Amino acid sequence: MTRVLSVASECAPLVKTGGLADVVGALPAALAPEGVEMRVLLPGYPAVMAAMEDGIVLTFDPLMGGVGRLLRGRVAGVELYVLDAPHLYDRGGSVYLSPEGRDWADNPERFAALCYAAAAIADGEAGDWRPDIVHAHDWQGGLVPEFLDQRGLRGRVGTVLTIHNIAFHGYAPPERAGAMWLRPEGFTPEGYEFWGQISALKAGLAMSDRLTTVSPTYAAELMTGAFGMGFEGLLRARRGDLTGILNGIDEAVWNPATDPAIAAYDTPKGKAKAKAALRVEMDLPQAEGPLCVVVSRLTEQKGLDLLLEALPVLTRRGGQLALLGSGDPGLESAFRDRAASEANVAVRIGYDEALSHRLIAGGDAILVPSRFEPCGLTQLYGLRYGTVPVVALTGGLADTIVNASPAGLAARAATGLQFHPVAREPLEAALDRLCDLFADRQMFTLLQKNAMKHPVGWQQSARAYAALYRDLLSH
């Protein structure tokens, strides 16, 4: 049995701002059949603390400005360690942002403390269970190797860093190193220094034994200037340590045959009730074209500004859009305005997990026009529910969708539509193509059936992670 400590800033169903939480929450159960015992270390946000019942296993006094306690318990089937540090985590707002929408000023210390706690667990301070490997996620876990090194554990405890989104670096000015309990001698290009700043992500990229990201295409993209965000040189140098492993989804949670949020179905024909109910809920009229859905953060990364520009092509063909999301205030306002002026556009600003299920169940197509997308989960949800994905040809979107090209259709293998480059005109062409396919009911039903048969679970990916862990331990 391989013991792995997963260190993350969020974990579904306890705390979630995006796909990272779903991955962290799903991995322990997915890896168990592969002989991996995974426990998760989380910050003690109010929602997490409310779910915890078990006791304290370690006290940190002091811990970066206050007292911290490490709790252990089992919640929603996941073995958890929770770092209860009220001075760092007991506050309103979101996980990363204040109620005013700005990064918490002490985010560097908040997540440095989490990494320090991970090193303490690896050092046996939390009891008999000690991980063979610490698997950290994004910049919030990037300082794990630094704190292991401080304890002389690098080389004795393996380290893996998964890049879910390289756009976030975990910057801090160098004068914060003391407050973050970092060694001055670590402020080097081989450590946590990046262009004169502290970068928690840089520490993880430079010092972890293995690096993974969430799709093979994104792994290749990260080694280019267009996607590497300044880290492409480092990643090229570590090419042999970088692996792309696709995310999966929880097929019990995302199952159209049993989903409590919808009128259950297990064939494309069964979608009709879900679609009718969704139109009523979103106040959309009957229409001849496809009902398209979006469940997304509203950001330029997600290409939703391009969707606003391309939307007239869809509505002129009798198509509709139902959108759920939040993010950039300008995009929120623009989508609200479009919904107010067009009967075939409906918008809900915010996030509602049950509504996201109803949207994906009731839609004919799900739109994911991202400029970059490390893996993406919503297109996988779409596949599972027979909601045909229309996606940009990038990252995990390229790896998970079989394009409805002439060859893909002739082979009867297509599961969705891809467009490239990521710009308004190619997206317009993809929406036109979607409407053509939707009008051919036999062909569109084939797309839906192919989508619903496409593997989207964790089995293959869990085997890849387990193999990675075995290889790391063998070295």
**How far lies 338's CA from each of 309, 330, 335, in Å?**
11, 12, 5
Please give the structure tokens belonging to residue 426. Answer: 């190619």
Contact criterion met (CB below 8 Å) for 98 and 104: yes
In 335-350, which positions are buried (b, 16+ CB within 10 angstroms) versus exposed (e)?
A: beebbeeeebbbbbbe
Residue with tokens 């995009």: 331
Contact criterion met (CB below 8 Å) for 27 and 465: yes
Pairing of strands 291-298, 242-244: unpaired
The one-letter amino acid code at 191 reads: G
Q: What angle do CA 455, 390, 427 make, to 5 degrees?
A: 155
Residue list, annotated binding site for ADP-alpha-D-glucose:
16
In 89-123, which positions are buried (b, 16+ CB within 10 angstroms) versus exposed (e)?
A: beeeeebbeeeeeeebebbbbbbbbbbbbbbbbbb
Laid out side by side, the sheet with 2-7 consists of 56-60, 68-75, 78-84, 36-43, 2-7, 133-137, 158-163, 210-213, 242-244
- Which of 2, 80, 3, 4 minimizes the C-alpha distance to 45? 80
Distance between CA atoms of residues 417 and 399, nearest Å = 12
Pairing of strands 36-43, 210-213: unpaired
Distance between CA atoms of residues 323 and 347, nearest Å = 5
Q: Where are the beta strands (DSSP E) in 268-419?
A: 291-298, 320-327, 345-349, 365-368, 388-392, 417-419
Q: Is the peptide bond before 374 cis (omega within 30 degrees of 0)?
A: no
Residue list, annotated binding site:
16
Q: 276 by DSSP, 3-state: which?
A: helix
